[in-house]
Amino acid sequence: MADAYTDLAALAAKDPAGKGRLWAVRDGNCWSYAGCAVDPRGSNLKVPVESVPDARVKAALADGTWMGAVIDTNATPIKILAVQVTPAPGAPLNVLRASDLGTVAAA
């Protein structure tokens, strides 16, 4: 099933942190890697030049191929801020809370 999401994997490979994460872009209803350039033609929206639609990420989350990597536990309902490929069974799993960002835990 992982092959079904090669578009997500290709964008996640550009994550400058090397974590393979895609971040939610709420203004654009899409997901992209951190630091992706913004479309200069957007008048009110901050849409990245390279992104995947929210529906693609929701499908990958629904079938378990991808997982929430950074979550905001203070939001109601809880929000997924970033996603990554679900690791193989037995591989280390590190889900971060929004409050962990910028700390040693996020490094």
Across the strands, what pairs with 97?
71
Extract the tokens encoding 73.
């536990």
pLDDT tens by residue, 58-76: 999 999 999 999 888 888 8
Q: Is the pLDDT of residue 56 over 80?
A: yes
Q: Say what the pLDDT of residue 52 is.
A: 95
Q: How far apart are CA 30 and CA 56, in angstroms?
A: 9
Helices (H), the chain: 6-12, 54-62
